Amino acid sequence: MNNNDTSPPLYGAHGKPAGRIRQKNEEGILAAAAEEFARYGFKGTSMNAIAQRAGLPKANLHYYFSSKLNLYVEVLRHILELWDTAFDDLTVDDDPALALAGYIRLKMEFSRRHPQASKIFAMEIISGCECLSAHFNQDYRNWFRGRAAVIEAWIAAGKMDPVDPMHLIFLIWAGTQHYADFSDQIRRITAKRMTKADFAQATEALVQIILKGCGLTPPDAPR
């Protein structure tokens, strides 16, 4: 992927009919909120600070989002929707090496493009996941089991080594999100901020390590 790709933006209209101005304002508010929540957390962020970052009057925020909690939950919902959609189309007919490598590469690209969003999610989980309790319901558990079932089918068909599907998915999530959530740690260790080339190198390292651990031959990186 590159900066000229056609992947959807992180923030868009949230399921409501909207004109272009409304959609643009919502995208601006959500992007500004992501910056503030990532920097200061939910408690340390104010609606006024979000309005100033978005370049809108505070009253406009309340027109689109009734409260700070409503806005925070909407930011989190967008994060999860983008992450999960990238794994929705997994099927037993897929080549596991191509499917898993593709998912790792997409998640790493998300960490590169939207590190603030990943950090917000991490802070929410660490603080007890209260605002996402409704999201991680039976439907989500069923979705997760569906992804694991595909991996189990690949194993049963002899397409990959027997590994625990649940822990494989957790490993992919942890490995890819580390580059966003712990970017300051990486910067201090390497004495520089990661560039696009650094992300590409890290991505292929993860693909190699994870896929070889599953007995798979990593596919070539896209050019």
Supply the range of the domain harboring residue 193: 86-218
Classify residue 223: in a domain, yes or no: no
Maximum distance among all Cα pairs of the chain, rounded to whole angstroms: 59
Average predicted confidence (pLDDT) for the chain = 89
Q: What is the pLDDT of residue 18?
A: 53
Of 130 and 45, more confident: 45
Residue at which a domain ends, from 74, 108, 139: 74
Cα separation, 36 vs 44, whole angstroms: 9
Q: Are residues 207 and 101 in the same domain?
A: yes
What pLDDT, in 10s, does the model give residues 86-121?
889 899 999 999 999 999 999 999 999 989 889 999
3-state secondary structure of 148: helix
* CATH classification of the domain holding 7: 1.10.10.60
Using alpha carbons, list the distances in angstroms from residue 159 to 87, 156, 163: 19, 8, 12
Residue 63: is its pLDDT beyond 80? Answer: yes
Q: Are residues 25 and 127 in the same domain?
A: no
Q: What is the pLDDT of residue 81?
A: 84
Q: Are residues 61 and 100 in the same domain?
A: no
Percent residues over pLDDT 90 in the chain: 61
What pLDDT, in 10s, does the model give residues 121-131?
999 999 898 88
Classify residue 91: in a domain, yes or no: yes
Residue at which a domain ends, from 44, 74, 104: 74
Q: Are residues 69 and 102 in the same domain?
A: no
What pLDDT, in 10s, does the model give residues 164-221?
999 999 999 999 999 999 999 999 999 999 999 999 999 999 999 999 999 999 999 8
Q: Are residues 134 and 207 in the same domain?
A: yes
Q: Are residues 127 and 167 in the same domain?
A: yes
Classify residue 80: in a domain, yes or no: no
Q: What is the pLDDT of residue 16?
A: 46
Classify residue 140: in a domain, yes or no: yes
* CATH classification of the domain holding 106: 1.10.357.10
Q: What is the pLDDT of residue 26?
A: 87
Residue at which a domain ends, from 42, 74, 106: 74
Q: Are residues 41 and 136 in the same domain?
A: no
Task: Return phi, psi of residue 114, to 5°.
Answer: -135, 60
Q: Tell me how long the chain is.
A: 223
Q: Which residues, 6+ apart, have CB-to-CB distance to 103 below 8 Å?
A: 86, 87, 90, 172
Q: Are residues 43 and 97 in the same domain?
A: no
